[in-house]
Copies of this chain bind each other. A is one copy, B any other.
């Protein structure tokens, strides 16, 4: 039972090649639930890190049998720590271009602090625990993106801090 004893809903978790509509996902999440005081959201976008001369496309691969399991577990862990009424996680795969949407996390809670913390926690763990890999195609050729130390740091702070 999460803090506050609020009845939890099964989160919406999807991995898809199609784009997503943030407004529609948010409307679906909050539909008619007057217990929700706020929704924290994060949308990840493909950056053009090299001023237009760089990334032309990004290809996202994943491990289908594990992805859903990993994302459900991350959301469950967030619910142990914060009051989460409902949540949505959508991650795209396949070929993407700069300014395209990659990932969406929505967390609906009674109070904003819970939604902000849970949303950032889910993003941090998604970055370091969910089995997705990015390959960049640039004018200099293709290469697999390296994991960033800053993402490991972002994840490990949840294990040490007293939120």
Spell out A's residues near B (CB within 8 Å).
21-24, 26, 30, 32-48, 52, 98-99, 110-113, 115-116, 119-120, 123, 150, 154
Cβ contact within 8 Å between A99 and B38: no
Given the complex, which residues of B lie within 8 Å of A113, measured CB to CB?
A: 150, 154
- In the complex, the answer to whether A40 meets B37 with C-beta atoms within 8 Å is no
Question: What is the minimal beta-carbon distance from A74 to any residue of chain B, in angstroms?
Answer: 15
CA distance A38 to B104 in the complex (A): 10
In the bound complex, do residue B22 and residue A35 qualify as a contact, i.e. CB atoms below 8 Å apart?
Answer: no
Q: How far is the CB of A27 from the nearest CB of chain B, in Å?
A: 8
A154 and B120 CA atoms in complex are apart in Å by 17
- In the complex, what residues of B have CB within 8 A of residue A154's CB? 113
Residues of chain B contacted by A110 (CB below 8 angstroms)? 47
- A35-B23 CB under 8 A given contacts A42-B112, A99-B30: no
A22 CA to B27 CA, complexed, in Å: 9
Instruction: Note all chain B residues with C-beta closer than 8 A to A36.
Output: 45, 47, 99
Residue ID in chain B nearest A108 by CB atoms: B45
For A154, give the chain B residue with the smallest CB separation: B113
A115 to B99, alpha carbons, bound, how many Å? 16
Q: Told that A23-B24, A116-B119 touch, could you supply 9 new A-B pairs with CB distance under 8 A?
A: A21-B23, A30-B99, A37-B44, A38-B43, A38-B44, A40-B119, A41-B43, A112-B123, A116-B120
Given known A-B contacts A23-B22, A23-B24, A40-B42, A34 and B123 have beta carbons under 8 A apart = no
Q: How far, in Å, is A107 (CB) from chain B's closest CB?
A: 10
Contact of A39 with B35 in the complex, beta carbons under 8 Å: no
